[in-house]
Amino acid sequence: MIKAGIIGATGYAGGELVRILANHHDVEIKWLGSRSYIDQKYYEIYRNMFRIVDDICRDDHLEELAGQVDVIFTATPQGYLASRLNETLLSKTKFIDLSADYRIKDVSVYEEWYKMEHKSPELLEQSVYGLCELYREQIRNTRLLANPGCYTTCSILTTYPLVKEGLIDPNTLIIDAKSGTSGAGRGAKTDNLFCEVNENIKAYGVLTHRHTPEIEEQLSYACGKDVKLIFTPHLVPMNRGILVTAYADLCRNITYEEIRAVYDKYYADECFVRVLDIDVCPETKWVEGSNYVDINFKTDSRTNRVVMMGALDNIVKGAAGQAVQNMNLMFGLPETEGLQLIPMFP
């Protein structure tokens, strides 16, 4: 039985981790860390956990926790883990970090986009980017896992096959993405109040969103050259979901069948990536509550461009579900264990 601790257990991603791990046959949750609710019963915060999770919330004593568990999930703000983690802690247990602290290998890029000093850059070299569909073998052998962001997971998986195979010019790539409000976290913010969000849609972080360099870095690895792209996120009035619509120039005339064969090459055997039937557009409602990513595309012979589309649940495959998928790989378990979540509807 894997013993797990969760720091940030009362945020949306942390709460989803608890929900998933509570039904995982090979995991026992030993520590629910939350500075905001110390000594309060977990089910008093999330009433859906009544008579399911009876433990109290504790502080984030990493040094004490590391000696008690096999893996620590940190669903914490940027900078938290980087300021606390060291070789001594890593020698005791494995870490799966849901923040951006170890996703970007170039520390100067991280510091430029996140406007903070990275406190443990010496650990970046040994971290593994936790996109299972791309880095499965590296994930199996790591002790420091950088769980990807929700926008980035959807954007990368949607565009990666065509970038990798050289079928599109990645520097013409424009990614339009939309997220439900849970992506902004559980903290009280005026911009996320019901009256601010309801009956509204808005772009934000235009040309400055911090997931941009993460997407660029991973797609640069895919094509072997630096990629610069436009990424524009939008906030929409729904609880969950990411919808990505990406546009790029094709490098040559290419048929639907050829592009479909490329997507099938990368994803036909993937348990959580579903390439949809021709002309079916991904929708967030068909992945909600699950670890699935739905992907499809359309080609435009008139402009010689391709439109790539993807949808996922931002706090499952975009956060907690992907973290559990990574944990399964790190501990030699079936990748789908605890994640056989059929999408909810309605």
**Rounded-to-integer distance, Cα 197 and Cα 221, Å:** 36
Say which residues have a Cβ less than 8 Å from residue 225's Cβ, sequence separation at least 6: none
**Rounded-to-integer distance, Cα 95 and Cα 93, Å:** 7
E strand intervals along the chain = 2-7, 27-33, 71-74, 94-97, 128-129, 144-146, 174-179, 202-203, 230-235, 242-249, 273-275, 293-300, 305-312
Instruction: For 130-146, give one letter per residue: b (16+ CB within 10 A) or e.
Output: bbbbbbeeebeebbbbb
Residues 90 and 123: beta-carbon distance below 8 Å: yes
51 φ/ψ sector (left φ>0, alpha ψ -120 to 50, else beta): left
Length of the chain (residues): 346
Alpha-carbon separation of residue 235 from 138, 141, 201, 319 (angstroms): 34, 36, 6, 17
Sheet of 2-7: strands edge to edge?
27-33, 2-7, 71-74, 94-97, 144-146, 128-129
The CA-based angle 18-22-24, given to 5 degrees, is 115
Is 57 part of the annotated catalytic residue set? no
Residues 304 and 254: beta-carbon distance below 8 Å: no
Query: Which is the catalytic residue, given 57, 150, 154, 223?
Result: 150
Residues with catalytic annotation?
150
